Chains A and B, each alone.
Chain A
C-alpha cells in the first residue's frame, strides 16, 4: 500500500522540493564539473580563427521567457567576439529582441570597441523570414536607423556590409522551431542556403532535437544548447558568469526528475502486482 502511494505524491510537494533543489545550488554553489561538448568547442574554434576586424552578425532573437537560456549564450558569444576585436552587427527579427539586447549589453566589457565603428544594435525588423531575406540581401530596404534612432548610412560599420557575402560568421539565437518560424530557421534558408555563410546557432534545451539534423548534415557549423551550452562557452572564454553558476541547479534538478520517474514506476508496479495477485 505504501509503495503504491509513491506514484500518487501530491504535486505541490513535488513542485516545492524542485524549487528548493533549484534554489539551493544558486545560493550555495556546489561546483560540479562541466564537460565541454564538441558542438560548443566548434563554435569557439571557428570564432577564434576569425581574423581581427572581420564582420560578423549576431542575430538577437529571443524573448523574456527564453532569456534565461539564450541570454547567457548571447552574452558569452558577444564577449568572445569583442575579445577577438570583431565588428559586430546585431539585427533583431523578434519583437523583444532589441530590449533583450540592451539587457545583454548592460555591463559587457567591449574591449574599447566604438559604437557605430565596431558594433551596432539594430531595431526590430518586421516580417520574419522576409525581413531576414531583405536584411541578408539589401539591408537599406528594411532598416535605416539603429535601435537608438541614429542613421545607419553614417556608420562606418554599415559601410562594410552590403549583403551576407561580406559576413564571415553569422550567429543566430532562436527560441522556436525552424519550420514554425523560429529565428534560426530563416537564417538557414536565407543566409546559409543562399550565401553559404557559416552559421552558429544558440538553441533552447528543448529545441536541441530539432537543430541536430541540421548540425549533423553540416548545415549548421556549431551549436550551443540551453544554459549548459552557455556555461561551456563561458568556460571556454575563461569568463564564468551566470550560466556556470546555474549548472549545478540543472544537474540537481535533472537527478531529481530521474528520481521522480523511478518513484512513479515503483508505485505503478506495486499497484500492478497487487492487482495481479488479486
Chain B
C-alpha cells in the first residue's frame, strides 16, 4: 500500500532527486566549489556595446523584462537584475548614463539600489540621477512598450540590453532599437519570444543561457550551484528520454511502466 497518490510516484522521485542535486551543489558552492560556466558571446559583447556608447556619446538602455519578482517569470527578472549590476558597473565607470524603464513598480527599489550601488562603488554617488535612470512607463504591457519605443527614438541609445521575461514587445523594441542604431543584446527564457530575439537582436541568450548569465556575472555561489544542479537534472532527464526511446523502439515497457507508477 503506497502512501503516494497513484501515478505520481515517479514524479515525486524525480523531484526529490532534482532537489537533492540542487541543494548539494548550492551548499558545495557556498563552501568554495566554483563550477566553470562557459563564456557566452552575448555577455562578452556587453563591454563592447557600452564602449560603443562611449564613443558615440549616447546612453545605455537596459530592461529587465515584463515579469515581477514573485511570479513565474521571477527567475528571469532576477537574472536580468544580475546582468544589470554588471552592466551598471561598467557604464558608470565609463561615465555613460544608463536608463532602465520598468513595467512593475515593485522592481523599482531593487533596480534603484543596484544602480546606486554602482555609482557608490565608482565613487560617483553625487552623479546618480534616479529620475533619469529608473523610469516607470505604466503597468500595462503596451503602455510600457510604447514608452520604450519613444525612448529609443528620442534618446537613441548606443546599447540596448534587454534581459528578462518578454511578451509581445520583443520584436517591436528590437526593430525600434535597430532603427535607433543601438547595439542590441537580448536574453529571455520566454519560449514564445526566443525566435524573435534570435532573428532581430545582434546577440541573444535563450532559455537556460539567461539563468547561467546571471550566475556567471554575479559569481553568486547560490546561483552557480543552482546552474550545476540544473545541468545534472537535465542530464538525468536526457538519459531517461534516450533510454525510453530505445526501450520503446524494441517494445520494452519497463520505463513506460516506471513513469506511470
Contact = CB atoms under 8 A, between A and B. Distances in A.
The answer to whether any beta carbons of A and B sit under 8 Å apart in the complex is yes
Interface of A: 11, 65, 128-129, 175-181, 206-207, 209-210
Given A11-B179, A180-B72, A180-B73, A210 B167 contact: no
Given A65-B142, A206-B192, A210-B191, A179 B168 contact: no
Contacts of A207: 192
Contacts of A181: 71-73
B106 to A, nearest CB: 16
Contact of A179 (B72, B142, B167): B72
B165 interface: yes
Contacts of B165: 180
Contacts of A206: 168, 192
B190 A180 contact: yes
28 contacts: A11-B179, A65-B141, A65-B142, A65-B168, A128-B71, A128-B72, A129-B72, A176-B167, A176-B192, A177-B190, A177-B191, A177-B192, A179-B72, A179-B189, A179-B190, A179-B191, A180-B67, A180-B165, A180-B190, A180-B191, A180-B192, A181-B72, A181-B73, A206-B168, A206-B192, A207-B192, A209-B195, A210-B191
B237 to A, nearest CB: 15
A49 B12 CA distance: 37
Interface in B151-181: 165, 167-168, 179
A256 B125 CA distance: 53
B91 to A, nearest CB: 29
Contacts of A65: 141-142, 168
Given A179-B191, A181-B72, A209-B192, 19 more contacts: A11-B179, A65-B142, A128-B72, A176-B167, A176-B192, A177-B190, A177-B191, A177-B192, A178-B191, A179-B189, A179-B190, A180-B72, A180-B167, A180-B191, A181-B71, A181-B73, A206-B168, A207-B192, A210-B192
A176 B166 CA distance: 10
Nearest to A178: B191
Nearest to A182: B192
A178 B73 CA distance: 11
A250 B129 CA distance: 47
A-B interface, 8 closest residue pairs, ranked by CB to CB distance from nearest: A177-B192, A181-B72, A177-B191, A210-B191, A180-B190, A210-B192, A207-B192, A180-B73
Interface string B1-30: 000000000000000000000000000000
A180 B165 CA distance: 8
Nearest to B192: A177
B200 to A, nearest CB: 13
A181 B189 CA distance: 13
Most buried by B among A129, A181, A209, A210: A181
A223 B165 CA distance: 25
A177 to B, nearest CB: 4
Interface in B186-235: 189-192, 195
Contacts of B189: 179
A179 B72 CA distance: 7
A177 B165 CA distance: 11
A179 B191 CA distance: 8
Nearest to A213: B191
Contacts of A178: 191
Nearest to A186: B72
Nearest to B76: A180
Contacts of B142: 65
A9 to B, nearest CB: 14
